[in-house]
Amino acid sequence: MRNRLIDPVAVTGMGIVSNQGVGCSANWHSMINTHEHLAPWRQPCEPKLAGINVAQTPELPRPDDLPPTLWQSLAGTQRLAAIAADEAIRMAALPTRPKRRPEPIALFMATTVCGMDLTEQFYRQYRQQRQTADIALLKRVHPFEINVLLAHRHRLTGPRWLCMSTCVSSAMAIGAAVDSIRTGQTNMALAGGAEALCEVVLSGFSALKLVAPEGCTPFAAGRRGITVGEGSAVLVLESLASAAARRVQPLAYIRGVGMTCDAYHITGPEPTGAQPIAAMRQALQQAALRPDDIGYVNAHGTGTRDNDAMEARALNAVFGSRTQPFISSTKRLTGHTFASAGAIETVISAMALQHGVLPANAGAPQADPTLSVNVIAQPTERRVEHALTCNFAFGGNNTSIVISRGTGRTWETL
């Protein structure tokens, strides 16, 4: 009997919002020109945070079906997810807001901050005067409210959950979608993540002394920390049979997803990288590929001392120091978008495969020589068949995804 657990899963739609722009096309054009848009947060915040460069999205266009009052009442994560999901669904040639769908579509999303922007607003009022604090602000603070919004707007009636495992969350969501499709529980799923800037995250990472105020420099010798970012990416994933039946050409394929846990430390990575290595190998094994089949790695590359050192060790262990594929971290461009990083970087990798251009390791064209990482100094034209993304998180969670080039039409024709 054929092993369905290694079947490729088709990516037939993608949507992305980041500080690089709104939509795949805007993101891609900005990214291949290595445009950095880092700046201090536009929102008023405590003085010690005001000078920190962050990666903030541009003003978001309100979808026609969401009235202005509702749109303004949503949490930032919900607005970002709504925009990214709309684009992914349109690109997949699915009806955007049908009365009903012929079969259930699953929904696996991710966030960490949830509605923390609303919680902060509420808590400021609550501190001042408990009885008059606007409790309605808390209507949409919960993480699952992202799923409620997307499921109800797009009539997604299949299985759904939301992952909150910090920086690997949306990669885990993609993994769940792939697993659900491969095991025959659903033929189609939306998967992704959304994360909006909020003071708690900026202040929290500052308190942990993990923020680089000027901007991150992944894998550089003098790396100082992360750039806090916001954004969302959503993918439409479906079985090959479903894509064929709908006559849509896959933009890319997800071939393998690895997930492991260090069980080592709450915030720091286990230094040898044993479990990240296991996650990469798991993804390659599922994809039935060898390390030298991988032409591009979109690294987690946060720009923190410990993460990049551990990741370099893991990449060297999996690929060898002399035969490494091209490697870049795109976090200087998008910022570290935490729960949505996995999905954003999967979309970036799929676009890189489709266009035959690999994005630069922005912020650090030369890597720390002690790390032995083959970083891409500038955007490089290179036709690559397979890419690998890596994400690592607080709590020692590790994910890796193998993406292969698809045959689908470019989103720029939309």
Partner 1 sequence: MTGQTSDCANNNAPGKQALGILSVGICASPFAHINQFKQWLDRNTHASQTATAASEPQTPDIFDRADRPTIADVAADALRQVAPAAATVATAERTALLYSSVWGDIPATHEYLESMLADAGKFASPRAFTRSIYSTAAAMAAIALGIHGPCQTLSFDFAPVASILGAAYTLLAADRADVVLLCWADEHSQVLQDLQLLAANAGLGHAAHRTIQQTLLHGAAAVAVTRYDYANLLATCTTTTHPPDKDLNTTINLPHSIQQGHSALRLVAGALLASGGQSLSWLDGQDRATRRWVEVTRPAQ
Residues between 29 and 58 with contacts to partner 1, criterion CB under 8 A: 46-49
Select from 74-82, 128-136, 222-230, 371-379 the region that touches partner 1 (CB under 8 A).
128-136
Work out whether 124 is an interface residue with partner 1 (CB under 8 A): yes
Which one is catalytic: 24, 163, 198, 336?
A: 336
Residues 174-233 that bind partner 1 (CB under 8 A): 175-176, 179-180, 182-183, 185, 199-200, 203-204, 206-209
Q: How many CB atoms sit inside 10 A of residue 266's CB?
A: 7
Distance in Å, CB of 375 to partner 1, minimum: 29
Q: Whose Cβ is closer to partner 1: residue 113's or residue 367's?
A: 113
Q: Whose Cβ is closer to partner 1: residue 161's or residue 382's?
A: 161
Select from 78-86, 125-133, 307-315, 344-352 the region that touches partner 1 (CB under 8 A).
125-133
Q: 148, 293, 380, 382: which one contacts partner 1 (CB under 8 A)?
A: 148
**Catalytic residue flag (residue 336):** yes
Distance in Å, CB of 110 to partner 1, minimum: 10
Select from 34-42, 159-167, 325-333, 375-383 the region that touches partner 1 (CB under 8 A).
159-167
Between CA 107 and CA 246 the distance in angstroms is: 19
Which one is catalytic: 37, 154, 300, 386?
A: 300
Q: 34, 60, 90, 144: which one contacts partner 1 (CB under 8 A)?
A: 144
Using alpha carbons, select from 177, 115, 181 the residue that is nearest to residue 148: 115
Residue 310 amino acid letter? M
Which one is catalytic: 114, 167, 216, 390?
A: 167
Between CA 332 and CA 185 the distance in angstroms is: 38
| Residues 258 and 281 sit within 8 Å (Cβ to Cβ) | yes
Distance in Å, CB of 116 to partner 1, minimum: 9
Residues 244-273 that bind partner 1 (CB under 8 A): 259-267
Q: Whose Cβ is closer to partner 1: residue 134's or residue 412's?
A: 134
Residues 369-408 that bind partner 1 (CB under 8 A): 393-397
Q: Is the dihedral of CA 138, 143, 144, 145 positive or negative?
A: positive
Using alpha carbons, select from 284, 271, 289, 292 the residue that is nearest to residue 392: 271
| Beta bridge pairs of residue 123 | none
Work out whether 102 is an interface residue with partner 1 (CB under 8 A): no
- Which residues lie below 8 Å from residue 128, measured CB to CB, with a gap of 6+? none
DSSP string covering 331-357, please? HHHH-B-GGGHHHHHHHHHHHHHHHTE
Using alpha carbons, select from 215, 171, 234, 225 the residue that is nearest to residue 34: 215
| Beta bridge pairs of residue 236 | 13, 190
Select from 162-170, 234-242, 299-307, 406-414 the region that touches partner 1 (CB under 8 A).
162-170
Work out whether 5 is an interface residue with partner 1 (CB under 8 A): yes
Rg value, the chain, Cα: 20
Distance in Å, CB of 115 to partner 1, minimum: 9
Structure tokens at 346: 């999967």
Residues 315-334 that bind partner 1 (CB under 8 A): none
Spell out where 20-68 has E strands: 21-22, 39-40, 53-54
Residue identified by tokens 């919680």 is: 119
Q: Whose Cβ is closer to partner 1: residue 91's or residue 211's?
A: 211
Using alpha carbons, select from 393, 4, 398 the residue that is nearest to residue 179: 4
Between CA 289 and CA 273 the distance in angstroms is: 21
* Count of residues in contact with partner 1, rule CB under 8 A: 71
Q: Whose Cβ is closer to partner 1: residue 248's or residue 259's?
A: 259
Q: 39, 70, 135, 241: which one contacts partner 1 (CB under 8 A)?
A: 135
| Beta bridge pairs of residue 257 | 401
- Which residues lie below 8 Å from residue 245, measured CB to CB, with a gap of 6+? none
Work out whether 138 is an interface residue with partner 1 (CB under 8 A): yes
Distance in Å, CB of 273 to partner 1, minimum: 13
Which phi and psi angles does 236 have, rounded to 5°? -95, 120
Q: 79, 154, 160, 332: which one contacts partner 1 (CB under 8 A)?
A: 160
Please list the active-site residues. Answer: 167, 300, 336
